Amino acid sequence: MRNITNELREIAEDLLESKKVDVVLGYAKGEQPYQSVPFAAKKKEDVENLIFDIFSYSSLSKYLLDDMYRGKKVALVLKGCDYRGLKIMLDESRVDRDDLYLIGVECRGVLEKSKLKKKIDATLFETTLDLKEDKLAISSSKENVEVPYEDVLSPYCLACEFSTPHKEEVDIILGEPGKMTNKELTTDECFAEIGQIEKMDEKQRFEYWKKQLNRCKRCYSCRNACPVCTCRVCLFDRENPSYLDSDTSQLAQHQFYHVIRAFHISDRCVGCGQCSRVCPENIPLHLLNQKLIKELNKFYGSYLPGVDEQPAPLSFAKADDPDPFEKEEK
């Protein structure tokens, strides 16, 4: 992805020098090894810090809601899933397309560090990585190996159908659109983990989720990283909501928080996996979202947020909609 980084820097420098934009929102190297963090390039000297690589996880569109970008022309770097989240914001008039210059990038999927660590006999500090076609070359003082990139790819990327924005959706695309290393998965494969949980009986499922969600510290990292949690005032930030408070010792409230949030984004989730990725307790929050997506698809037909043009299933109602809560006739 070095070529994309070079292309990005050239485009960003031209945009800033010509004053076509006020800022370029992209990624830069973080302090930890193989860590890419959000970065705002505001002048020519900042451009050399911009990168795009297999660790560029974060969706940047939520930064557009910050008051510091209001009224400014912003260039935004977007993977396919990022554009889906942005499109929802555009459709809801949370941001104005005329204020944006969209830089689509070829995304071959982001790397899952937990999978990588199982493949190497060294620390990330001692390791050099190089993505070559569909292979990841791993070099260290202890070994030099190549592994299929698919083996260390994020599981969310494996099921991704829109890795790169379409050219008509953005102002420019960098890289080779559509060059994705993942395989097409069936519906059952996409929801394999959900299928295992569904095989549990009701009590086992309740105990499973209680154990998972009770580890929550209510840090709200999942909400803050989610590209479709875009309410300007989150209901969980409102003062003294009657059903939820800041007492993290009340375990049931962790369950309330996650179930409410999952329902809130059930027909908006773009499958990026950021909620699980940023969770300090490693709670598989994406599974809650996937379960609701699976149920919505069953009741209302397949729907892809940020892709399909029809309204989201839960944003309107029809007279013949199925009612899963309808009581059986006596």
Residues 169 and 56 in one domain: yes
Residue 52 CB partners (closer than 8 Å, separation 6+): 1, 4, 5, 8, 26, 27, 36, 77, 105, 174
Could you give the 3-state DSSP secondary structure of residue 66? coil
d(CA 88, CA 104): 16
CATH number at residue 74: 3.40.50
Same domain, 34 and 170: yes
**Backbone phi, then psi, for 124, in 5-degree steps?**
-60, -30
Q: Judge whether 267 lies within some domain.
A: yes
Asked whether residue 235 falls in the same domain as residue 295, the answer is: yes
Q: Residue 325 domain-assigned?
A: no
Does residue 329 surpass a pLDDT of 60?
A: no
72: confidence class by pLDDT, cuts 50, 70, 90: very high
Count other C-beta atoms under 10 Å from residue 216's C-beta.
21
Q: How many CA atoms lie within 13 A of 134 on its CB side?
A: 8
Q: What is the mean pLDDT of residues 66-91?
A: 94
Task: Say yes or no: 296 and 222 in one domain.
Answer: yes
Statement: residue 2 has pLDDT above 70: no
Pair (90, 224) in one structural domain: no
Q: Which pLDDT score, from 0 to 100, does residue 184 have? A: 56
Amino acid 241: pLDDT: 61
Q: What's the domain count of the chain?
A: 3
In a shared domain, residues 236 and 287:
yes
Structure tokens belonging to residue 85: 């989240």
On the question of pLDDT at 183 being above 60, the answer is: no
Based on the fold, state whether residues 101 and 124 are members of the same structural domain. Answer: no
Could you tell me if residue 102 is inside a domain? yes
More confident residue, 112 or 125: 112
CA 125 to chain centre: 26
Residues 195 and 309 placed together within one structural domain of the fold: yes
Q: Do 71 and 87 reside in the same domain of the chain?
A: yes
Sign of CA dihedral 314, 316, 317, 318: negative
Is residue 328 assigned to a domain? no
Q: What band does 248 get if pLDDT is binned at 50, 70 and 90? A: low
Residue 18 lies in a domain: yes
Instruction: Indicate the range of 190-199, 242-251, 314-323 predicted with least confidence.
Output: 242-251
pLDDT reported for residue 139: 84
Task: Label residue 138 by pLDDT band (50, 70, 90).
Answer: confident
* Dist CA 293 CA 166 (whole Å): 24
Backbone angles phi, psi at 281, to 5 degrees: -100, 5
* CA 64 to chain CA mean position, Å: 16
| Inside any domain, residue 63 | yes
Q: What is the pTM of this model?
A: 0.85
The band of 134, judged by pLDDT with boundaries at 50, 70 and 90, is confident
User: CA angle, corner 177, sides to 172 and 183, nearest 5?
Assistant: 150
- Asked if 103 and 118 sit in the same domain, the reply is no
Terminus-to-terminus CA distance in the chain, angstroms?
63
- The domain of 140 spans 113-152
Residue/partner pairs of 126-134 with CB below 8 Å, 24 or more apart: 127/33, 129/34, 129/54, 131/1, 131/54, 134/181
Cβ-contact 296, 303 below 8 angstroms: yes
Which of 168, 242, 52 lies closest to 39, judged by CA? 52
| Residue type at position 272 | C
Q: State residue 182's pLDDT score.
A: 47
In a domain, 78, yes or no: yes
Specify whether 103 is located in the same domain as 120.
no
Q: What percent of the chain has pLDDT over 90?
A: 46
- Dist. CA 29–CA 24, nearest whole Å: 15
Asked if residue 309 belongs to a domain, the reply is yes
Does 124 lie in the same domain as 90? Answer: no
pLDDT at 185: 58
Mean predicted confidence (pLDDT) in 147-161 = 85
- CA distances to 58, 136, 139, 228, 304 from 85, in Å: 12, 29, 35, 6, 11
